A and B are shown apart, each in its own frame.
Chain A
Amino acid sequence: KAGVTQTPRYLIKTRGQQVTLSCSPISGHRSVSWYQQTPGQGLQFLFEYFSETQRNKGNFPGRFSGRQFSNSRSEMNVSTLELGDSALYLCASSFGAADTEAFFGQGTRLTVV
């Protein structure tokens, strides 16, 4: 079956703009988590959605938001982009929120100039 799909793969935006990233989980998976990855900082948790409800949120400013649709697809939005938002944004899906294995997409590489 198809893996986790993230679109777009690459994105260049200007400071102050906003951006929306998309994640389609593996078919049947209901839990979607988002992570920001920067060099030397590992994967930092943004938020997790399960059955259209945000269940967890990391320590990111309110400029970072997300949502999940009834088909489990998820989007995250970053408003008023800053240079420091340049990162690889990864999405991971699992069948249930309690699953021990998360399946990651290839990520969206966001560059803010």
Chain B
Amino acid sequence: GESVGLHLPTLSVQEGDNSIINCAYSNSASDYFIWYKQESGKGPQFIIDIRSNMDKRQGQRVTVLLNKTVKHLSLQIAATQPGDSAVYFCAEMMDSSYKLIFGSGTRLLVRP
């Protein structure tokens, strides 16, 4: 069935370094991909999204890369800060359905 998964369950980085969080998706028909950040006790917070007709999109300190050939999505965070510590989820959606399909998450730990 449809699924979105992550390669690494936990990522530990030094403050100031760049972080890369990866995600593999299985539904080649997905039209839209999103990264969410979730802090303990809170709901997911939108970070950045990308349509399937794009391969890169940049935001403030974050970049999302989409490789449809290998069905891979990544989130790059520049100059990682302690406030970036959280669980990060990728999610996918098809235009024909508005439901988001989430992966199991990667925990990002930022070392001071």
Instruction: Specify whether A and B are partners.
Output: no
Binding site for B on A (CB under 8 A): none
